[in-house]
């Protein structure tokens, strides 16, 4: 079976970019979840007041890091749409419809 290069595939139009963004956000979400769980367990086992404040500040800042996920998804979808438009324009030009004269 012959493998095609990524630039030779037809009809993917940024799908790989979009799937990469989704996978990246999924991995960031898992990492944030692990640190939130670890912070909660660490806070339960520590008795020093300053350490508890530091743990609370760290877990609160990590919890705020997922607020931008929807923005990344929208930007990724916009990139895919731009790639689709470019492919459509190139396909129309390749058909020769626009090369006719009056």
Q: Is residue 50 part of a domain?
A: yes
Q: Is residue 89 part of a domain?
A: yes
Q: Is residue 43 part of a domain?
A: yes
Question: Could you tell me the residue range of the domain that residue 77 belongs to?
Answer: 14-94
Considering the entire predicted model, what is its pTM?
A: 0.58
Q: Is residue 39 part of a domain?
A: yes
pLDDT at residue 2 greater than cutoff 70: no
DSSP state of 85: H
Q: Is residue 70 part of a domain?
A: yes
Domains in the chain, number: 1
Q: Is residue 9 part of a domain?
A: no
- 43/84 Cα distance (integer angstroms): 49
Distances (CA, A) of 7 to 3, 13, 22, 50, 55: 12, 10, 21, 55, 47
pLDDT band per the 50, 70, 90 thresholds, residue 53: very high
- Quote the percentage of the chain above a pLDDT of 90: 2
Q: Which pLDDT tens digit goes with each residue over 77-87?
A: 888 788 778 77
Q: Is residue 102 part of a domain?
A: no
- 79/14 Cα distance (integer angstroms): 7
Question: What does pLDDT average to over the chain?
Answer: 78
pLDDT at residue 47 greater than cutoff 70: yes
pLDDT at residue 34 greater than cutoff 80: yes
* 40/94: higher pLDDT: 40
Q: Is residue 8 part of a domain?
A: no
Contact residues for 57 (Cβ-Cβ < 8 A; gap 6+): none
């Amino acid at each position: 079976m012959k493998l095609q290069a990524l630039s030779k595939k037809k009809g993917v139009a940024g799908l790989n970019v979009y799937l990469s963004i989704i996978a990246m956000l999924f991995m960031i979400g898992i990492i944030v979840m692990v640190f939130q769980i670890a912070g909660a367990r660490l806070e339960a086992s520590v008795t020093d007041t300053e350490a508890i404040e530091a743990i609370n500040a760290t877990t609160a800042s990590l919890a705020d890091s997922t607020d931008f996920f929807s923005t990344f998804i929208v930007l990724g979808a916009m990139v895919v749409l731009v790639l689709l438009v470019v492919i459509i324009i190139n396909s129309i030009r390749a058909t020769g419809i626009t090369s006719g004269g009056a």
